[in-house]
Amino acid sequence: MSARVENGKRRGRLQTALVWTLLLLLGFVFLLPFLITLGDSLKTFRQYWAVPRIWIPLPPQWGNYADVFRVLPFFTFIKNTILLTALALFGQVGSACLVGYSFARLRWPLRDTLFIVLLSTMMLPGQITMIPVFLMFNRMGWVNTWLPLIVPAYFAVNVFNVFLMRQFFKTIPASLEEAAFMDGAGHLRILTTIMLPLAKPAVVSISILGFVHWWNDFMGPLIYLSDHTKFPISLGVKMFADAQLTNPHYVMAASIIAVLPVVLLFFLAQRHFVEGIALTGTKG
């Protein structure tokens, strides 16, 4: 019996070691492009083009990052991105919570049918509606402004966020809502004081996803913006790359500056993100 137990423990340790080895290898594969970009951003011009490749530049050229801000108005790009992301994210999260609560808790005609129709729009590629939407915003005089990028976020256009919040709200016991109704609370108060605090993991999840989307959004600003003073950092990096074709190490430094907030956010909030995805039920 003891030998069998010992064999089981040994087999378990071996399986654990194999799993960790595989995870470390996969993590290294996904991290390698970022490490290469970081290394290239700290090189001189000669080190960047050196053959064989220099993996660890010595000494590191931290001044490349300062040069990026001297060549182009990167502070303006960062400020624009922060404002654009904050305004759009507020509307996206708020509208997803309102619409998700409506589909999960309110009773109204054709509710489930319209929810299925809403989900079906996820199969519609954005390229199909790109030109009609642009023509509509052009007639409204919104081209070369932030309005086409911000206003749609306040109308729950992100169906996945609505789906995520709806599924999470349906996992919350109805008894809490009934007790609040008996105390005289309305739907809006129930949503803000009961549902949203309990749905914090899901709210954090859609906030992280929304932040990553709006911070990295390239196609939207490329279509609607032509004034470089309104560019977010995604277009700023592209503009910088076009202007610095002969200095790719500067382009790498600009790319690191652009991606760093997203990386930091993920490491700081990964526990809440995983919890929000894992706890989202599939009821209903």
The domain spans of the chain are 2-41, 71-279
Q: Residue 123: which residues within 8 A CB-CB, separation 6 or more?
A: none
What kind of fold does domain 71-279 have according to CATH?
MetI-like fold (1.10.3720)
Q: What is the pTM of this model?
A: 0.84
Is residue 101 within 8 Å of 169, Cβ to Cβ? Answer: yes
Please state, in angstroms and rounded to a whole number, the distance separating the CA atoms of residues 152 and 164: 19
Going residue by residue through the chain, which has 284 residues, state the pLDDT in tens, using 9 for 90 and above.
Answer: 566 666 667 777 888 889 899 999 998 998 898 899 999 999 988 888 888 888 888 888 998 998 888 888 888 999 999 999 999 999 999 999 999 999 998 888 998 899 999 888 888 888 888 999 999 999 999 999 999 999 999 998 889 999 989 988 988 888 888 888 888 888 888 888 888 888 888 898 899 889 999 999 999 999 999 888 999 999 988 888 887 667 888 889 988 999 988 888 887 877 766 666 665 544 44
What pLDDT, in 10s, does the model give residues 38-90?
999 999 888 888 888 888 888 889 989 988 888 888 889 999 999 999 999 99
Residue found under tokens 């990052």: 65
Residue 44 main-chain phi, psi, to 5 deg: -85, 175
What pLDDT, in 10s, does the model give residues 14-36?
888 898 999 999 989 988 988 99
Distances (CA, A) of 229 to 75, 77, 216, 219, 240: 11, 8, 17, 17, 14
